[in-house]
Amino acid sequence: MATTSPEKRYTPVIILLLVAALVTVIGLWAMERAGERRIGGGHAGASGDDAGGTFEWKLVTTWPKNFPGLGSGPENFARFVNEMSAGRLKVHVYGAGEIVPAFEVFDAVSQGVADAGHGAAYYWKGKIPASVFFTAVPFGLTAQEINGWLHYGGGLELWREAYAPANIIPFAGGNSGVQMAGWFNREINSVEDLKGLKMRIPGLAGEVFAAAGGTAVRIPGGELYTSLQTGVIDALEWVGPYNDLAFGFHEVAKYYYYPGWHEPGSMLELIINRDSFEALPEDLQAIVTHAARAANQDMLDEFTARNNAALRELLDRHGVQLRRLPDDVLLELYRGSEAVMQRLVQDDPMAARVYASFKAFYGGVRAYHHISEQAYINARDKVLDSQD
């Protein structure tokens, strides 16, 4: 009777064990990859099977980390998302310079370096001329009005169309309300006083200021104090009393001018990489959408509540001189705004379409506010002033 050698007898068992080990390794690798898709963030797709998974996003901003007012927008958005998702989507916020410089936020989100960003749309005017309409237009819409145009007047649809080639989905990300005209180290008594003045003022307003004889300079928020202190610039606009007090501009400039002709309702933006957004299950997409809407309104509420107390501190404690821009200066700036706007829409078809929508809404809401918001405030002032 022939006998089988031990090598031949155990060979099938060894082969089966090797196959089993290979299957196990492949299975572990697949599980690890699936975990990376869920926990690594947005760029790999998330199907319905991933609905119970968790996601982590990087959100980069154009503001210093944890900066009051403007910086509260991205922080609140991250908190709202975490709370509403019970931790399934965690958004980590990074200030300007922590991952990318302030003015590289748009590219970082577009290229997937970050999943989301927070800033001001007019910073990207060189890339997308129509973007200026989604921050502020000189002598344009107030915060209440721009929210109406975006969410019920077709503005948001046009904004998303304009950003679509960059693989970005924009959302309203906060509003500071009517801003101040800015900080100046010399008095402005006429249009002549604008000649040769170097001022940090971005967007369309920068072009208007340059047309009036000044020099418009674009500088990130974190560099403004030093730039004004050292004479790199002669003036700057930032936001309003709440933020300006936190920056300490009263220490390096004496005159504080109003009204904020250039930014009557300065809307900020939350931008999200489309791949990151579409990787989320539908319920997390809804949470992101509604968290953005809540953060947008919350910022306006905060500025409304904080600005007056901050202004009183600037005037009463720090001796800041509050001044109104002369009427002839405002008129010249308005004329310049109209000219700049016409050049913008002539050179860019997308900007022309956005402008048409903006202008139509502007005409209607302005007419109504003559007999509602404006009429009431005028009547209130007249009655209260008569009691003094």
SS (H, E, C) 75-139: HHHHHHHHHHCCCCEEEEEECCCCCCCHHHHHHHHHCCCCCEEEECHHHHCCCCHHHHHHCCCCC
99 exposure class (CB count in 10 Å sphere: 0-12, 13-18, 19+): middle
60 exposure class (CB count in 10 Å sphere: 0-12, 13-18, 19+): buried
CA quadruple 282, 283, 287, 288: dihedral, nearest 10: -20
Q: What backbone phi and psi angles, to 5 degrees, belong to 119?
A: -175, -150
In the three-class reduction of DSSP (H, G, I as helix; E, B as strand; rest coil), residue 388 is classed as coil
For residue 46, the model assigns a pLDDT of: 41
Note down pLDDT in tens along the chain; length 388 residues.
Answer: 444 444 444 444 444 444 454 444 444 444 444 444 343 444 433 433 445 689 999 999 999 998 889 999 999 999 999 999 999 999 999 999 999 999 999 999 999 999 999 999 999 999 999 999 999 999 999 999 999 999 999 999 999 999 999 999 999 999 999 999 999 999 999 999 999 999 999 989 999 999 999 999 989 888 999 999 999 999 999 999 999 999 999 999 999 999 999 999 999 999 999 999 999 999 999 999 999 999 999 999 999 999 999 999 999 999 999 999 999 999 999 999 999 999 999 989 999 999 999 999 999 999 999 999 999 999 999 999 999 7
CATH 3.40.50.300 is right for the domain spanning 48-175+266-303: no
For residue 221, the model assigns a pLDDT of: 85
For residue 52, the model assigns a pLDDT of: 60
Crossing angle (nearest 10°) for helices 327-347 and 203-211: 120
